[in-house]
């Protein structure tokens, strides 16, 4: 084999390698362009953690097993387990620090979110992705309370508040 043929083969091999890398890059770019817009945008933006999920809360009043008024029901969403935070706070003296300050530090900059179930027992609220604790109390001839942990992700999530996933079921006297 002459030097000219050897050089030509090396150039052809280098060009084939470049063409292979370009084809692979084109395939990846083509797949990337077909992703849903919100996923692409969230992966590009530096504030991707600020994206929110529409969290729908539902309470079927007829499903709780006792008469309940049609009043609006306040709901709080916390980024931490407030009962565990209270237990930790109470476990040792924290002179000069109120529980609210302690809980705020544990929340790491995330804030409590307030919502309200309407007369139909529904609420929709935008929530940042992550683990959240739903706190709600329903008054009637009996009491139902929820301390429900949910993993919030995606575009939308629905959570049903039922008597089966209630934290507390108590009879009023």
User: Residue-wise pLDDT tens for the chain (173 aa)?
Assistant: 667 678 889 999 999 999 999 999 988 888 877 766 544 344 444 544 458 899 999 988 777 777 677 788 899 999 999 989 999 999 988 888 999 999 999 998 899 999 999 988 899 999 999 999 999 988 767 778 889 999 999 899 999 988 888 887 666 65
Query: Which pLDDT value is given to residue 88?
Result: 92
The CA–CA distances, whole Å, from 7 to 10, 16, 20 equal: 5, 14, 20
pLDDT of residue 42: 44
User: Model-level pTM greater than 0.95?
Assistant: no
Nearest by Cα to 75 from 142, 122, 108, 128:
122
Q: CATH homologous superfamily for 51-171?
A: Carboxypeptidase-like, regulatory domain (2.60.40.1120)
CA distance 51 to 155: 9
Residue closest to 162 by CA, chosen among 128, 141, 127, 134: 134
The pLDDT of residue 50: 59
Structure tokens at 15: 């060009």
d(CA 15, CA 4): 17
Say what the pLDDT of residue 170 is. 66
CA distances from 45 to 32, 42, 50, 147 (A): 15, 5, 10, 33
């Amino acid at each position: 084999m002459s030097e000219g043929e050897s050089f030509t083969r090396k150039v052809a091999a280098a060009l084939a390698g470049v063409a292979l890398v370009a084809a692979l890059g084109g395939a990846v770019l083509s797949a990337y362009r077909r992703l849903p817009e919100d996923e692409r945008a969230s992966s590009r933006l530096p504030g991707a953690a600020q994206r929110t999920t529409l969290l729908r809360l539902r309470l079927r009043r007829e499903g709780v097993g006792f008469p309940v008024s049609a009043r609006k029901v306040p709901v709080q969403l916390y980024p931490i387990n407030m009962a565990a935070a209270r237990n930790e706070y109470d476990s040792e003296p924290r002179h000069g620090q109120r529980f609210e300050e302690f809980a705020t530090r544990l929340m790491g900059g995330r804030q409590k979110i307030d919502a309200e179930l309407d007369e139909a027992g529904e609420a929709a609220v935008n929530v940042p992705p992550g683990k959240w604790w739903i706190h709600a109390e329903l008054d009637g001839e009996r009491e139902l309370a929820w301390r429900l942990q949910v993993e919030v992700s995606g575009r939308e999530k629905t959570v049903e508040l039922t008597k089966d996933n209630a934290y507390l079921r108590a009879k009023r006297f």
